[in-house]
Structure 1
Amino acid sequence: MRATCICFFMFQIVCITTLFGQGLKIADIRKDFKVGHKDEETCKKHLEALEKYADSPVERGYEAAYHMFMAKHSGNPFKKMGYFKNGKNMLEKEIASNPSNVELRYIRLCIQYYIPSYLGYKGHIDEDKVFLRDNLYKLNDKSTKDLLYNYLKGAKMYTNEELGLLGR
């Protein structure tokens, strides 16, 4: 009887570990953000995980971004527009609920800065650039702050003077 209980207990631990081990790896999702629009497999992998497990504003913001990235990987024009509109609406909803969230503003800025003008989603670039310049330094997570800063620096969205303020 005791051996059966121990086996059952060990089985439960393995199941729980496996279940939670398949969750989100937000560090990987952040790191791959710059390639999600280029690499379909990376995009699909992260989107599937985010759709299943996203439960914070930032995670839902990345889910929205990866939806928009899927538009580039779809051949069907209706699906393309559906992915894009769905992601845009998701992201705007998260920002409306969390207007001071630095990472959500970063996601929106990066998307708006690079998408084609004909999609009509470029209205917050200046606002988000200023917001990030004035608030990025307030992020408590140094690795996230460094990742965002280095991406923005490499994207050449900011002047050298603005980068100085952004990187403080």
Structure 2
Amino acid sequence: MNFLLSFITAFIFFFQTNMEAVRNSYAKANLSNANTEAFINLAEEQPGTDAVTNGYKAAASIMRAKIVKKDRKALVKTGATALEGIIRGNPNNIELRLIRLSVQENIPKIVGYRSSIKDDKTFLINNYSKQNATLKSYVKKFVMQSKSFTEAERATLK
């Protein structure tokens, strides 16, 4: 019994550590092409098929278009379609909404993938207080550096 409990605890700790690494890498991915590549590699290596992991993988597909020379449009379309499908299946997941908002904020306007910025921003503000401490911290860090939020909106996150 103790072995089983230890195994489950170790598994949960391993998964959380990996997700924390993915989040940290994602937060830095837009700073340089090297950081983008590091995030893409980390996201693609993630085991599991949960919605959040798949959301980061979809974002990695979109971000790959930033560093490759060909098939950019297809990469963005594939990643955006996947991300939209994941969010459609998990509309109340704040982390997925944060991923989509950050992608849409940073993608060139000419691509046209910017239709959910306002909705995701409102969702983050309205659902922030319902999250655990880890997600609150992650969301708050994103909001504080985001171009989409006003100072008054940032001040509402406590």
Q: Aligned match of 2:61 in 67, 92, 102?
A: 67
State the Cα RMSD in Å: 2.2
Determine if the alignment matches structure 1 residue 34 to structure 2 residue 27: yes
Inter-partner Cα distance in structure 2 for 1:131 and 1:71: 27
Superposed, which structure 2 residues align to 1:134-145 within 5 Å?
Answer: 134-140=126-132, 142-145=133-136
TM-score normalised over the length of structure 2: 0.81
- Unpaired stretches in structure 2, ≥5 consecutive residues: 1-9
Task: Pick the structure with greater CA Rg.
Answer: 1
Distance 1:162 1:47, change over 3 A: same
Q: TM-score if structure 1 supplies the norm length?
A: 0.77
Q: In structure 2, what is the equivalent of residue 103 of structure 1?
A: 95
Instruction: Find the partner of 1:49 among 42, 45, 52.
Output: 45
The CA distance in 1 between the partners of 2:58 and 2:69, in whole Å, is 19
Q: How many residues align?
A: 143
Which secondary structure state, in structure 2, belongs to the residue aligned with residue 83 of structure 1? helix
Equivalent of residue 123 in structure 1, options 115, 119, 139: 115
How far did residue 68 of structure 1 move?
Answer: 0.7
SS in 2 for 1:63: helix
Structure 1: 4+ residue segments shifted above 4 A = none
How far apart in 2 are the matches of 1:36 and 1:81? 20
